Amino acid sequence: MTARRKVWAIEADVLDMINEASRDTLPNEFVAALRAEKGVITEILLFPGSVSNEHAAFMQLHMLPIDLSVVGTVHSHPGPSNRPSNEDVHLFGNFGSTHIITCLPYDRRSWQAYDRSGRPVELEVVD
Ligand SMILES: [Zn+2]
């Protein structure tokens, strides 16, 4: 068995919130930062103002206050693929260890987590 990742789980409520926000943001992409406590993602951190462009939103990450509980990012794809684009992988490499992409239909099975190299990682869903 491999060692547990530093970030190993996400709360079910947070996942539901992400999917709901992704649906509300259509046809645009929803982007937020992920916050974790003891390795479990417990909160999303929204960016101030409305966000209409994924990459503009990622850029704002650099303006966030230094917060060690921020472990990565989440964004939605307005299509049926949750695979990271080359641009996504590039941005993952700049910030945080754990990144989630969710896609249509935005349900409990339509998301995937990735490491900073864009490799899929398993995250447990906890209550
Ligand atoms: Zn993307």
Active site residue 29: yes
Please give the pLDDT value at position 4. Answer: 73
Please give the pLDDT value at position 29. Answer: 87
Distance from CA of residue 83 to its chain's centroid? Answer: 12
Of 58, 104, 49, 57, give the one whose Cα is nearest residue 79. 104
pLDDT (tens, 9 = 90+) of the chain, 127 residues, equals 556 789 999 999 999 999 999 999 898 888 888 999 999 999 998 765 445 555 555 656 666 666 778 899 999 999 999 999 998 998 898 878 999 999 999 999 999 999 999 999 999 999 9
Question: If you measure from the C-alpha of residue 5 to the centroid of ligand 1, how many angstroms do you get, rounded to a whole number?
Answer: 23
Q: Which residues place a Cβ less than 5 A from the ion ligand 1? A: 85, 88
Question: If you measure from the C-alpha of residue 100 to the centroid of ligand 1, how many angstroms do you get, rounded to a whole number?
Answer: 10
Please give the pLDDT value at position 69. Answer: 86
Asked if residue 15 lies in contact with residue 125, where contact means CB atoms within 8 angstroms, the answer is: yes
Dist. CA 52–CA 26, nearest whole Å: 10
Please give the pLDDT value at position 103. Answer: 97
Please give the pLDDT value at position 50. Answer: 45
Residues in the chain: 127
pTM over 0.85: yes
Question: If you measure from the C-alpha of residue 83 to the centroid of ligand 1, how many angstroms do you get, rounded to a whole number?
Answer: 8
Please give the pLDDT value at position 52. Answer: 54
Of 79, 24, 80, 87, give the one whose Cα is nearest residue 99. 87
- What are the two backbone dihedrals, phi and then psi, of residue 118, each rounded to the nearest 5 degrees? 85, 15
3-state secondary structure of 53: coil
Q: What is residue 63's DSSP assignment?
A: G
Question: If you measure from the C-alpha of residue 87 to the centroid of ligand 1, how many angstroms do you get, rounded to a whole number?
Answer: 7
Catalytic-role residue among 29, 43, 54, 122: 29
Of 8, 16, 12, 67, give the one whose Cα is nearest residue 38. 8
Please give the pLDDT value at position 94. Answer: 83
